[in-house]
Amino acid sequence: MSKLIISALALAMGFSVPINHSYVQNVAIYSSSTETITDEDGEIFGVYAPDIPDNAVVWVTYDTMGTPTRLDDIVIDLEVIE
C-alpha cells in the first residue's frame, strides 16, 4: 500500500486534489454515501465514499484545530491511501 501525503495551506475556497482511490484518511468528503471508518476503540480515523469514482477531484478542508470541516477553512494536509 503506497501513501501520498500532500501538505498545503490554502485560503478561502479550500484546496482541490485529485484522488486515485475512494479511501481517504482524515478528510471531510461531501458525498451522499460517505461512511466513517473507525478503529477498534471506535475512534474515527477516516471516511469511505464509495460513490466517488477513482481519479475524482474532491474538496477538503481543515479548521485551525485540524478538524475536517467546510470549504471556507484552511487545508493543512491530506493523506490518500492507495
Residues 33-61 have pLDDT tens digits of 555 555 566 665 555 555 555 555 555 54
Overall average pLDDT of the 60-74 stretch: 46
What range does the domain containing 35 cover? 3-81
C-alpha cell recorded at residue 35: 461512511
- Quote the pLDDT of residue 40: 64
Longest pairwise C-alpha distance within the chain: 36
C-alpha cell recorded at residue 67: 478538524
- Quote the pLDDT of residue 5: 36
DSSP of 18-73: E-SSSEEES-----TT-EEEE-TT--EEEEE-TTSPTT-EEEE-B-TTS-B--TTS
Average confidence score pLDDT of the chain: 47
d(CA 82, CA 69): 23
Provide the domain count of the chain.
1
pTM for this model (two decimals) = 0.23
Q: Is the pLDDT of residue 26 over 50?
A: no
